[in-house]
């Protein structure tokens, strides 16, 4: 189900001028043709996002997750909400989960900040994918071993897990951890993100995910809460 993302991009193309974005649109239509919606999301068009929150720092470092006194979650370890969000939608879900649980929040960010231009971002993300690039992340979770459960948030990018999330797992071994994926998208749902995640975290226990249309995050508080309740 790719209508939402296609409509989003068509609307932007009209705004930005057909000539400038024809190439990206054509590539997108081809790439998205094979995407399947796996976990919800309505068929309405997505208007991408709230403003991007925060820029990545330019050097790599370790940092402790922000927020909360942090409840301990399942098992012996703690739970962490780790999220990559370019335009704020998935971050909105992450913040809601943190509000509901008091778990700690960690933002996955690139060492070199991404452009804020949507069309450029489409192209960069596609290039990263086709080259299987592993963009350096801005910082690591310093106390990673303390967490047994990871709530992992990301947008669908060209039907896949963003490469930056794969980079995150090069630095953070998920073996033995429970991972709950959550996602926002413009119509494709998880598409291939979950199989990408399984490949990036081969020894993790990946559980049921939550996938929402990017433009429905604000109205999905109860859905998020239900998912959290089921999975905490
Ligand atoms: C580079 C890029 C690629 C995208 N690819 C897809 C896609 O394949 N399928 C889809 O449904 N939406 C796609 N979208 C739309 C985003 O998944 C959607 O707007 C999401 O809510 C953005 O989350 P964020 O605000 O947390 O970054 C793409 C957006 C960008 C910027």
Residue given tokens 């959290």 in the structure block: 228
Whole-number Å distance between alpha carbons of 175 and 181: 15
Mutational test site, ligand 1, from 157, 188, 192, 217, max ligand atoms within 8 Å of CB:
157
**Would you say residue 36 has pLDDT above 90?**
no
CATH number given to 3-46+63-230: 3.40.50.360
CA distance 203 to 35: 25
Residue 87, helix vs strand vs coil: coil
Q: Which of 80, 46, 42 is nearest to 63 (CA)?
A: 80
CA–CA separation, 185 and 163 (whole Å): 16
Q: Tokens 């705004």 sit at which residue?
A: 15
Mean pLDDT of the chain: 78
- H or E element in which residue 148 lies: strand 147-155
Residue of 49, 120, 152, 214 best suited for mutating to test ligand 1, as the one with most atoms within 8 Å of CB: 214
What pLDDT, in 10s, does the model give residues 120-166? 999 999 999 999 999 999 999 999 999 999 999 999 999 999 999 99
Contact 96, 88 (CB under 8 A): no
DSSP structural state of residue 53:
-
Query: Per-residue pLDDT tens for 82-115?
Result: 999 999 999 999 999 999 999 999 999 999 999 9
Q: pTM for this structure?
A: 0.78
CA of 77 to the centre of ligand 1 (A): 32
Sorted by sequence, the CB contacts under 8 Å of residue 135 that are 6+ apart come out as: 110, 111, 112, 128, 163, 164, 167
Element holding 225 (H helix, E strand): helix 221-230
End-to-end CA distance of the chain: 30
Indicate whether residue 157 lines ligand 1 (CB < 6 A): yes
Q: Tell me the C-alpha distance between 42 and 39, whole Å.
A: 10
**In the chain, pLDDT over 90 holds for what percent of residues?**
66
Cα dist from 133 to 64, 128, 130, whole Å: 26, 5, 8
Neighbours of 205 (CB within 10 A): 14
Indicate if the pLDDT at residue 207 is higher than 60. Answer: yes
């Amino acid at each position: 189900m790719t209508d939402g993302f296609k409509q989003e991009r068509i609307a932007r193309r009209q705004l930005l001028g057909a000539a400038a974005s024809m190439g990206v649109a054509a590539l997108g239509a081809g790439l998205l043709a094979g995407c399947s919606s796996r976990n919800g999301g309505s068929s309405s068009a997505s208007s991408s996002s709230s403003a991007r929150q925060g820029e990545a720092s330019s050097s790599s470092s370790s940092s402790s997750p922000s927020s909360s006194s942090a409840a301990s979650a399942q098992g012996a370890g703690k739970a962490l909400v780790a999220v990559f969000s370019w335009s704020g939608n998935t971050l909105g879900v992450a913040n809601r989960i943190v509000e509901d649980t008091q778990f700690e929040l960690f933002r996955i960010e690139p060492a070199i900040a991404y452009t804020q231009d949507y069309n450029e971002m489409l192209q960069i993300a596609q290039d990263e994918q086709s080259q299987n690039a592993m963009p350096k992340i801005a910082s690591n979770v310093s106390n990673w071993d303390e967490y047994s459960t990871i709530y992992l948030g990301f947008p669908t990018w060209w039907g896949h897990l963003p490469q930056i999330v794969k980079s995150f797992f090069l630095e953070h071994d998920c073996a033995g951890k429970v991972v709950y994926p959550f996602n926002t998208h413009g119509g494709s749902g998880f598409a291939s993100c979950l199989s990408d995640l399984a490949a990036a975290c081969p020894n993790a226990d990946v559980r049921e995910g939550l996938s929402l249309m990017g433009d429905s995050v604000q109205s999905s508080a109860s859905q998020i809460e239900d998912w959290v309740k089921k999975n905490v």
